[in-house]
Structures are given as C-alpha cells and as structure tokens.
Amino acid sequence: MTQPVGKQRVLVLNGPNLGRLGSREPDVYGATSYAGLVDRCTALGKELGFQVEVKETNSEQQMIEWLHWAADERTPVVINPGAFTHYSYAMRDAAAQRTAPLIEVHISNPHAREEFRHTSVISAIATGTIAGFGIGSYELALRALANQLAER
C-alpha cells in the first residue's frame, strides 16, 4: 500500500459491531450510519491533508494485523476498539508497538455506562483518548492527530 505524495495516510480502525452504526442502539450510538461515519472521516481527513482509510472488523485477528501493518509503516491510527477495549490484551500488545500516534476513541462515554466498560486495556498505551462526543469523537481525534503530527 503506497500513499500519494503529500498526503499523510491515517487508519481509522473500528472494532466489533461498529459496522451497525445507525441501527445499533441509536439512543447510545446515534443515528449516523457506518457509511456516514466513513464519509465524515474521509471528508475531514481531506481537509486536514490526510488520506484517511476507515476499516471495521468483528475479528480480533484482523484488528491485530492492521495494527501490525500500521506499526511497520509508521502510520497514525485512530481506533475505536469496541468491545475489544475491555479485554483484548493481544490487541493492546499490537497497539503498543505503534511507531506513530494512536488515538483511542469512543462514541459514548464508557465511564457513564456499565461497570465492565470502565476499563480500557488500550488507554495506557494510546497517545490520548477521546470519548462521549458521538461521531464527533472521531473528528476530534483527527484534529488532535493533525496537531500531534504538526508538532513533530
């Protein structure tokens, strides 16, 4: 995978059930569809000078492979691990190998929800975490990433 000259590639990775946005618990996750999320991330990415690639998987193995690729290619990551957030030490270990900023995002505020959602195995190795702003959490993360990369 080669990136165009002048464009910083950014991966926006989504874990289990996030492909069901818009129909999955809209009172918690909002009415924006997954396609809407992709459109918003790629449009803002373009504005920020990024080539944003948005991916979603229900497979822990696939997520780990994407994180390995990002580490090998020094590609920044915005990640919503979904349920993997709370227990996937394998994914945490893959994310810890990062060679570029990695920002954890959540649509809802995990600390305002069930007890099991209060723990993230990713937060400690992430550059930062943004949660509770709906789909806007992704936009805030992309802007924070632009600031991080500008400071380098």
Q: Which residues are annotated as a binding site?
A: 80, 86, 93, 107-108, 117
Residues annotated within a binding site for substrate: 80, 86, 93, 107-108, 117
Q: Which of 68, 89, 106, 118 is catalytic?
A: 106
Residue partners of 117: CB distance under 8 A and separation at least 6 = 85, 86, 110, 111
Strands (E) across the chain are located at 8-14, 50-56, 77-80, 102-106, 128-131
Query: Is 29 one of the annotated active-site residues of the chain?
Result: yes
- Nearest-CA neighbor of 58 among 93, 34, 31, 25? 34
Residues in the chain: 152
Q: Which of 29, 89, 111, 138 is catalytic?
A: 29
Query: Is 34 one of the annotated active-site residues of the chain?
Result: no
Distance CA 108, CA 94 (A): 24
Helices 136-151 and 34-48, packing angle to 10 deg? 30
Phi, psi of 24, rounded to the nearest 5 degrees:
-90, 115
Active site residues: 29, 106
